[in-house]
Amino acid sequence: MDKIKVFISSVQSEFSSERKALVAYLRSDVLLGKFFSPFIFEELPSMDSSAQQVFMKEVAHSTVYLGLIGSKYGFKDSEGVSPTEREFDEALRLNKTKFIFLTSHQISEREVDTNRFIGKIETSLIRSKFSDISGLLQAVYQSLVRYLEEKQYIQHGPFDTRLCTQATLDDIDAKKVSGFIRLAQNRRGFPLPDHTPMTDVLHHLHLTSFGKLTNAALLLFGHEPQRFFPSAVVKCAVFHGETKTKPIPAYKIVTGDIFAMVDESIEFVLSRLNYSVGTRKETTAVSGQYELPREVVAEAIINALAHRDYTSHAGVEVILYQNRLEISNPGSLPMGWTTEHLRQLHNSVPHNPLLAHPLYLAGYIEQLGTGTEDMIKKLKENGLPDPLFIQDIGFRVELFRSVAHDTPQDTPQVTPQVTPQVELLIKVIKGDESREELQEKVNIKDREYFRKSFINEALNQGFIELTIPDKPTSKNQKYRLSQKGRTLKKKLK
């Protein structure tokens, strides 16, 4: 098999030692060395052709583009564009697999054109950060191994499909399997009858192989799944304020099979949300609703358990703050996806396919990729802000509550017209700051979402103003609080 060519791009004067160390690492690693052949410009022989023309050809001949970006932008051609950005543009045009690794410099430490280049990158893919050569090598290793798994060069398989050699059929609860059959028959027309033997049901769901149970079988129907997977838990908590600050009025570690964890976690949240009761004006039944729609809360919790990385020692967290519900899990979006994919109709790409299918049969999820889009629609119908989808070390969803609560540590919402996004922006802005600086402060990677929901919303309401009002699209444009914004900030404090 021909090796997969990796084109390593960076400002030549900034990463000399890192490029050489990376090449040596890729060639010497037992696994990566079998599959990848790295290219760096230092190894080019002398030639008559223009160096940039050669690099562009190398990008075209490569399968993977790996970019290192630090503080410097580098040499600019006659059009003011650096070779590094030209190479990225070519990889983008040719639809190459791209991995970008950024140093841990602050925005203020980077050159203006470097920040612009990073902003451009963020619209099309997710990037990772590193602080030293060891962190870079680790980040590259994880990215390339994941590439090999998704391209099926290595047959490691998802966690839920692996066999649990220590488990036996005695670890499966037959009552749970019977209950699942009845539920799946009712919700999705499951074809197996009630009296089907447990082993046949597990085989039908592909939860056994060669007489052994898969990890998914234990997570779905096990007596005690945590005996095999201690981190397969949900940590639920309530905090009075907007941060993890004691006291903790409610805390619970939810265990059991995946269905039980979903149900108990949803109940934990709903029992602590405000509930408004309607009247019998139009019907004899008394209607009511939670301040956050139940369907939205359920979708976020189910997604966290269905798509999490079960090899991680971290668990799922469901945290209810004064102003928001935050649900996080040790997982990641499919390769090449950004959070913007979740805001539109997309294919369903389950991280744990053997878990996802029974959840679908039991009516807990759909398998059409409509879940997050439905969340956004339902929140809008209830007059609530869009959710935040954040991909960082793990994956996090933030759902903003409709009301403040009368507790000693609460800060009341100033006005119902001010969205949580605008409040957050007003709290962090200090002096004159660029869009990039503010976006990094609030930890939002989706540039277009930040521009619409934070910057434009605050501008439209008059809480912030432009430092160069006569040139709104200037590259030197910054934002500052208006008098109205400063007044609101004092009230928020």
User: How confident is the model over 299-313, as pLDDT tens digits?
Assistant: 999 999 999 999 888
pTM as predicted: 0.57
Share of the chain above pLDDT 90, in %: 47
The model's confidence at residue 173, banded by pLDDT at 50, 70 and 90, is very high
User: CA 257, CA 216: separation in Å to the nearest integer?
Assistant: 10
Give the pLDDT of residue 369.
Answer: 64
Q: Which residue has the tokens 């802000």?
A: 385
Mean pLDDT value of segment 5-19 = 90
75-89: pLDDT as tens digits: 898 999 999 999 999
Residue 19 buriedness (CB in 10 A; 0-12 / 13-18 / 19+):
buried
Q: Amino acid identity of 44? A: L
Give the pLDDT of residue 412.
Answer: 41
CA 137 from chain centre, in angstroms, equals 22
Residue 413 has pLDDT above 70, yes or no: no
Between 64-73, 185-194, 364-373, 477-486, the lowest mean confidence (pLDDT) is in 364-373
434-459: pLDDT as tens digits: 998 998 888 777 777 788 888 988 88
What structural domains does the chain harbor?
4-150 (3.40.50.450), 159-227 (no CATH), 234-400 (3.30.565.60), 420-492 (1.10.10.10)
Give the pLDDT of residue 138.
Answer: 77
Q: Which residues contact 38 (CB under 8 A, 6 or more apart)?
A: 5, 6, 8, 22, 23, 26, 27, 66
CA angle 440, 119, 147 (to 5 degrees): 95
